[in-house]
Amino acid sequence: MTFPHSPQPGPRPGPPPGGFRPGPPSQPGGYHPAPQPGPQNPAPAAPSQGWDEPDDGRDPEDTGHPAVDAALRSLANAARLAPGEQIAAYEAAHQVLQETLASIDR
């Protein structure tokens, strides 16, 4: 006795090798994401108050504290590391920032 949907010998259907899964077809009648709700005419931006734009010639990423600046640079560089190394970089930066904050209270 045979079943109408019995498995046939040969390759099984599934995603192609390498794990690539194609997205939905791009046809005129295909899927289109819904527009995001928001104001139709956004209000104009308020004029800058000046406190978020340093005009003393320093780098905007510069905090003025060498240890904090180094920790922030290490976090920016961590994005290029392997995940295991990123964790170590984040933990080291966290330790430096904790010690810096603790020294403020002394």
pLDDT in tens, 6-62: 666 766 666 556 655 556 555 565 555 666 666 666 666 655 555 555 555 656 678
For the segment 60-78, the average pLDDT, to the nearest whole number, is 86
**Sign of the four-CA dihedral 37, 40, 46, 47:** positive
Checking if the pLDDT of 4 tops 80, the result is no
Radius of gyration for the alpha carbons in the chain, expressed in angstroms and rounded? 27
Alpha helices, DSSP H only, in the chain?
66-78, 83-105
Torsion angle defined by CA atoms of residues 37, 41, 47 and 51, in that order, rounded to the nearest 10 degrees: 0
CB atoms under 10 Å from CB of 71, counted, come to 21
Is this structure's pTM higher than 0.85?
Answer: no
